[in-house]
Amino acid sequence: MPRVDADLKLDFKDVLLRPKRSSLKSRSEVDLTRTFTFLNSKQTYTGIPIIVANMDTVGTFEMAVVMAKHAMFTAIHKHYSLEEWKLFAANHPECLEHVAASSGSGKDDLDKLTSILKAIPPIRYICLDVANGYSEHFVTFVKSVRALFPNHTIMAGNVVTGEMVEELLLSGADIIKVGIGPGSVCTTRIKTGVGYPQLSAVIECADSAHGLKGHIISDGGCSCPGDVAKAFGAGADFVMLGGMFAGHDQCAGEIIEKNGKKVKLFYGMSSDTAMKKHAGGVAEYRASEGRTVEVPYKGDVELTILDILGGLRSTCTYVGAAKLKELSRRTTFIRVTQQHSQGMELNVGCGGPCKCEELGRRSLCLLLEKRFPCQCACIFLSAREKGLGKSKNQGSN
């Protein structure tokens, strides 16, 4: 018999953080670094726990170089060759403690991962990434990777429920990736009907992981710095971002000029684009579960990083957290019906299409390139204003 879980599950858009009394005088007083000792590898990590997703448009060596300067992390996509890895390691040895080598669960994937880790011993992190982390095959694969690399820190996923977090941790993983379908270019929920609202998934999975002294990554669903703060507030140890880092110089792909605007392509790793590029097309037995979008070109990623970190520091000052470590303990979520005023809406950091184009009023769009180079900031008419405009036109007839 089908079962219905009637408990309400929430996403980032459904809540805000309640401000609390704070003794902090400035955002500069906030410490965003975290130190973790991992469950199975016993390794210690220190850094700012934001990770660039292992997607081939954003999880690049070029991105890793900039991220490492901020003690931030990059999960390098799995499609680089061994020779490319060797060249990166030779030119940027200082970055190796801030990157993970990614792999799928196939034999060829494991063989390639093994060759990379043997050739470049300073790489300490492994990212085992599959769309469905619930398969027994994946659990067995995690166990085999742990047996081969007992001292490496293993990230594994994706899952969205506490029991599977526990299963993967007990199978040898150290950090569990949480998220099915929340990504900006993921269509899994549409194609399959499977998923879990990201905020609730993070809260529940963090509770299960921390009970075993494991850790989790909130993977997907963040479209602005406020969402990153909510993920940390919900208990995530790390937050993985894809779309927020798309469109920059450090991303793969050429800059395309279209209708006088510069854009770069960003696509899900289960999209037609990705499968044609890496697998020769979409196999007959499966469906594409991703989409391809044109993201406004944003220049250097450095300013985007600063904007995210600045927003996160500001969150901490609002709730009285002197350290990122304290944020979840200082967090109280309040349920809301809207995030901000809808009179004049600001489309911040979404990586989506300009809202003005939807209304046929592209001239209203203000690209705040100097202040917000990492964001598409579009000011557009509200529904109410559109209605007034129609009434005015009708009156003149």
Tell me the pLDDT of the chain (397 aa) as tens digits.
Answer: 899 999 999 999 999 999 999 999 999 999 999 999 999 999 999 999 999 999 999 999 999 999 999 999 999 999 999 999 999 999 999 999 999 999 999 999 999 999 999 999 999 999 999 989 999 999 999 999 999 999 999 999 999 999 999 999 999 999 999 999 898 888 888 889 999 999 999 999 999 999 999 999 999 999 999 999 999 999 999 999 999 999 999 999 889 898 889 999 887 665 556 556 655 565 555 555 667 888 999 999 999 999 999 999 999 999 999 999 999 999 999 999 988 776 555 544 444 444 444 433 333 343 333 333 334 444 333 444 444 444 444 444 3
Q: Is 341 annotated as a binding residue?
A: no
Eight-state DSSP code of residue 59: S
Predicted confidence at residue 272, as pLDDT, reads 58
131 is in an annotated binding site: yes
- The pLDDT, as a whole number, for residue 198 is 98
Q: Is 76 annotated as a binding residue?
A: no
DSSP conformational letter for 207: H
Q: How many CB atoms lie within 10 A of CB 254?
A: 7
**Has 242 been labeled as part of a binding site?**
yes
pLDDT at 21: 95
Alpha carbon of residue 9 to chain centroid? 20
Type of residue found at 269: M
Per the residue annotation, which of 186, 205, 222, 378 is the catalytic one?
Answer: 186
Q: Please, are residues 177 and 157 in contact by the beta-carbon 8 Å criterion?
A: yes
User: Annotation-wise, does 41 bind a ligand?
Assistant: no
pLDDT of residue 388: 42
pLDDT at 344: 52
Distance of CA 144 to the CA centre of its chain: 27
Neighbours of 267 (CB within 10 A): 23
Distance CA 269, CA 289 (A): 8
What one-character DSSP code corresponds to residue 281? S
How many Å apart are CA 274 and CA 288, to the nearest integer?
Answer: 9
The annotation status of 30 as a binding-site residue, yes or no, is no
Predicted pLDDT of residue 57: 92
Residue 265 pLDDT:
84
| Pairwise CA distance, residues 311 & 336, whole Å | 20
- Give the pLDDT of residue 282: 54
**Residue-range domains of the chain with CATH:** 12-248+300-335 (3.20.20.70), 345-396 (no CATH)
Catalytic site includes residue 222? no
Question: Does 330 carry a binding-site annotation?
Answer: no
Which residue carries 């970055």 as its tokens?
95
Q: Which residues contact 169 (CB under 8 A, 6 or more apart)?
A: 39, 40, 176, 209, 212, 214
Q: How many CB atoms lie within 10 A of CB 279?
A: 10
Give residue 383's pLDDT.
40
Active site residue 186: yes
What confidence score (pLDDT) does residue 267 get? 73
pLDDT of residue 289: 63
Q: 104 among the known binding-site residues? A: no
- What distance, in Å, lies between the first and last C-alpha atoms of the chain? 61
Place of tokens 């395309």: 256
Residue from 57, 188, 273, 304 carrying the catalytic annotation: 188
Does the annotation flag 130 for ligand binding? yes
In degrees and rounded to multiples of 5, residue 195 shows phi and psi of 165, -170
